[in-house]
Amino acid sequence: MVLGSVRWSAVFFGIGVGVLGLAVFSLVLWFALSMLEVDGAAGAATTFGTLTGFLVAGWFAGRRAPFSHFFHGATAAMGIALAVVVTAVLGGSPAPTSQVLLLAALAVLLGGVSAHFAAR
């Protein structure tokens, strides 16, 4: 186990692929829910797209990291969470602390676990 060492290329690759996965999954789900005339389709698609982005970012970061797979996956997912919070705050959202902490906890859990499974 190596502490204090980060393979930034793995983390940034995970963030990039995770954001791409977030966008594609959100758009596809939004289109499907809109065709089914579901109320709040955009919000549901964005929520599940963000969670999928955490999983994808963690998977690819953990796959590319030669050590500390969970850490790299969690770090990549936290990068996406940071981008989501900054975008929400700049858009005028109050971003309550409890919701930010929940988003961070989900990022660490989903990103880390998917990275752990990717490294197997």
DSSP secondary structure string, 65-94?
A: -SS-HHHHHHHHHHHHHHHHHHHHHHTT--
**Residue 26 structure tokens:** 């959100």
Q: Calculate mean pLDDT across residues 2-14.
A: 86
Task: Please tell me the pTM assigned to this model.
Answer: 0.92
- Asked if residue 1 has pLDDT above 90, the reply is no
- Per-residue pLDDT of 78-106, as tens digits, reads 999 999 999 999 999 888 999 999 999 99
Residue 62 confidence (pLDDT): 95
CB distance 49 to 109 below 8 Å:
no
- Per-residue pLDDT of 17-63, as tens digits, reads 999 999 999 999 999 999 999 999 999 999 999 999 999 999 999 99
**Nearest-angstrom CA–CA distance, 105 and 109:** 6
